[in-house]
Structures are given as C-alpha cells and as structure tokens.
Amino acid sequence: NAGVMQNPRHLVRRRGQEARLRCSPVKGHSHVYWYRQLPEEGLKFMVYLQKENIIDESGMPKERFSAEFPKEGPSILRIQQVVRGDSAAYFCASSPDRKSISEAFFGQGTRLTVV
C-alpha cells in the first residue's frame, strides 16, 4: 500500500545545472499536483497534470520549469539552469480525480539545494 513516492529526497545542484524531480502517484491515481514550499512558508501550487496532459500550469514560472506525466512512468518536474532561488522543498500529490482533493496524498517531498 505505497503512497506517493518522490525521489530523490534530497538533491544538490550547482547553479546552472538541471534538476529532475520524480513523483510516482498512488496506484490508480491519474491526477498529479506539484507544489513548492520555501522555508517558513506554506505550499504554493505549481502545476496540475493528468496522464499525458497538463491541465493547469498557472503556478509554474514561465522559464526553466517544465512538467510531464507520461502514460507510463512517474511524473517529472524539470528545472533547467537552476538558480539559488530555486532552493525549496517540492511536493507532489496525487488523487483519483480532480474533485477528490480530500483524498489527495502528498509525498515526502524533494528538498532541492542549489549551491
């Protein structure tokens, strides 16, 4: 009975490198949400994906950030040319459908540190 699995748990990147964060949803969940949490702050919505589709990316920075949720495999949040300001905890949640957000489970997060 695995929940949402995120990896890696911790990721260190130098400025200018690429960061790839992976999220495997709960089995049977086809909706995935990515959130970013800066220290001492609440989570900020980034993007909502359904299998092979981006439904809402209104919280994604316009440049360097992209997300996908392929038919097979985990959802990937990709950050190109990372900068210090990208350092944060990135959380993924999944749910069986859009309206069942109360059933959404969050993963343990990936803590990205840019040095």
Interacting residue ranges for another protein, rule: CB under 8 A: 4, 31, 33, 35, 40-45, 48, 56, 58-59, 91, 93, 95, 98-99, 101-102, 104-109
Per DSSP, the three-state class of 1 is coil
Q: Which residues of 60-92 are buried (b: 16+ CB within 10 A; e: fewer)?
A: beeeebebbbeeeebbbbebeebeeebbbbbbb
- Nearer of residues 35 and 65 to another protein, judged by Cβ: 35
Q: Would you say 1 or 102 has its CB closer to another protein?
A: 102
Residue type, 53: N
Give the nearest distance from C-beta 4 to another protein in angstroms. Answer: 8
Nearer to another protein, 18 or 41 (CB): 41
